[in-house]
Amino acid sequence: MEKYRTNLTGFKEKEIQALFVSPPAHLLDDLGLTRSAEDARNKLLAAIPDTYRHGAKEVWQRIHVDTRAWRKPEETVAAFETLQQAIWEEERLHILYRRSDGDTVERTVDPLGLVAKGSVWYLVASIDETVRTYRASRILSAASTNERFVRPTDFDLAQYWESSTQAFIDHLPEYEIQVEAAPSVLPKLPYAGWFAKIRAVGHPLDSGWIPVTLCFDTEEEAKAFVLGFGDNMKVVEPSCLAREVVKMAHAVVQFYGESVKQGGASLASEGSDVDKVAVQSDKKSEGIHDVTADFSLGTVAEIHRFQSTHPDYVKTPLISLSHLAQYLGCQRVFVKDEAHRFGLVRVMTGERHGGCAF
């Protein structure tokens, strides 16, 4: 121990601090090393010179590393202990693996190491003298073949991982687009999509909108991204993407339009509150919709009774005010005249009428 203490005196302060940066606790837990790591830290604290001990404790208290993603469920590795044991003992494994396309395959592999990227574990293994990577959570089962293998003496796990991930990135497909974005959404772009990469942001145009170059893996990702910003983003190039976005938007309107028309009555119960209306007609003028609404303050039961006693009256689907707003693509719906059961429902659309109460 005295020799150990003497060697530690040769450490510089920054080197000791580096030893006490907190490793990701969940990864230690996966490896079954949480308690061992705590014991090692305490022994190291006792061994270092007094002049550095306080600084080492401060590092532990002031820096914490957590590699888990927000709201992303943790992956379960069913065969984790088996994988670890085989790696340490250099035993060949027979695994049942579910590929990314859903197919299940059997493989006999020589496990070389485990790599954690974020909170996801990967098994690096050799098969037919070729090193491959397997997502550990997709290994459905693993069993030792009771055969030993010879680990390649020149294999470097960290070096393999770096070169492998770089090759994967280099071969990813790219789909680049040019858009114009409203100033209000520009700060949201870096956080709006997991696979959207911002290549360039230009100077504001005369309209105030900003040209942006974005890159995606596929056209489908680009369509979904652009459509999510509604009328706050316009596709400039490629023109074929703009046409596809328009087609998708029409499909969404048609889908939800039919859902609202057909599902309005089923969503309303006999004892519903007074926010149920029966839409008869609508007209659009300067961004405001005037919608004729029957029994705007009546309950669903009252509307049903009126319709049953007036056979000549046109029966229209029942719909709530919130669903009416969604159907018309606007922000809010107001009852104009609360003193009458028949009247107009005013609809506010866009930012032009923001904050107005009709």
pLDDT, tens digit, for every residue of 70-117?
767 778 888 999 999 999 999 999 999 999 888 999 999 999 999 999
For the sheet containing 175-181, what is the strand order?
A: 197-201, 210-216, 175-181, 233-237
Asked whether residue 209 carries a pLDDT value surpassing 90, the answer given is: yes
Q: Taking residues 195-201, what's their average pLDDT?
A: 85
Q: Is 114 left (phi over 0), alpha (psi -120 to 50) or beta?
A: beta
Q: What average pLDDT does the chain have?
A: 73
| Of 346 and 132, the one with more pLDDT | 132
Q: What is the 3-state secondary structure (H, E, C) of 175-212?
A: EEEEEEECCCCHHHHHHHCCCCEEEEECCCCCCCCEEE
Asked whether residue 127 carries a pLDDT value surpassing 60, the answer given is: yes
Q: Taking residues 181-199, what's their average pLDDT?
A: 81
Backbone angles phi, psi at 217, to 5 degrees: -80, -35
Q: How many CB atoms lie within 10 A of CB 316?
A: 19
Please give the pLDDT value at position 71.
67
Q: Which two tokens stand for residue 24?
A: 């990701």
Q: Which two tokens stand for residue 84?
A: 């670890």
The gap from C-alpha 12 to its chain's centroid, in whole angstroms, comes to 42
Per-residue pLDDT band at 318 (split at 50, 70, 90) = very low
Q: Taking residues 14-43, what's their average pLDDT?
A: 83
Rg for the chain, CA atoms, rounded: 32
| The pairing of beta strand 104-117 with beta strand 120-127 | antiparallel
Asked whether residue 227 carries a pLDDT value surpassing 90, the answer given is: no
DSSP secondary-structure letter at 230?
Answer: G
Q: Which two tokens stand for residue 210?
A: 């900003």
| The pairing of beta strand 343-348 with beta strand 288-294 | antiparallel
Q: Before 317, cis peptide (omega within 30)?
A: no
Q: Which long-range contacts (CB under 8 A, 24 or more apart) does 326-330 make?
A: 326/256, 326/260, 327/256, 327/257, 327/260, 327/261, 328/282, 328/289, 328/291, 329/253, 330/289
DSSP secondary-structure letter at 72?
Answer: P
Please give the pLDDT value at position 95.
95
- Range among 131-145, 183-197, 210-224, 302-316 rated most confident: 131-145
pTM, full prediction: 0.57
Asked whether residue 333 carries a pLDDT value surpassing 60, the answer given is: no
The candidate with the shortest Cα–Cα distance to 164, out of 137, 132, 134, 136, is 132
Please give the pLDDT value at position 113.
94
The answer to whether 185 and 201 have CB atoms below 8 angstroms apart is no
> Which domains are delineated in the chain?
2-62 (no CATH), 80-170 (2.30.30), 175-248 (3.30.70), 269-348 (no CATH)
Please give the biggest Cα pair distance in the chain. Answer: 103
The answer to whether 237 and 178 have CB atoms below 8 angstroms apart is yes
| Of 147 and 72, the one with more pLDDT | 147
> 25-29, 81-85, 90-94, 148-152: which has the minimum mean pLDDT?
25-29
Per-residue pLDDT band at 314 (split at 50, 70, 90) = very low
Q: What is the 3-state secondary structure (H, E, C) of 132-143?
A: EEEEHHHEEEEE
| Of 323 and 156, the one with more pLDDT | 156
Please give the pLDDT value at position 39.
87
pLDDT digits (tens, 9 = 90+) for 245-304: 888 888 877 777 655 555 443 333 333 333 434 333 333 433 434 443 333 334 444 445
The gap from C-alpha 93 to its chain's centroid, in whole angstroms, comes to 34
Q: How many CB atoms lie within 10 A of CB 185?
A: 17
Per-residue pLDDT band at 334 (split at 50, 70, 90) = very low
Q: Which two tokens stand for residue 262?
A: 């057909």
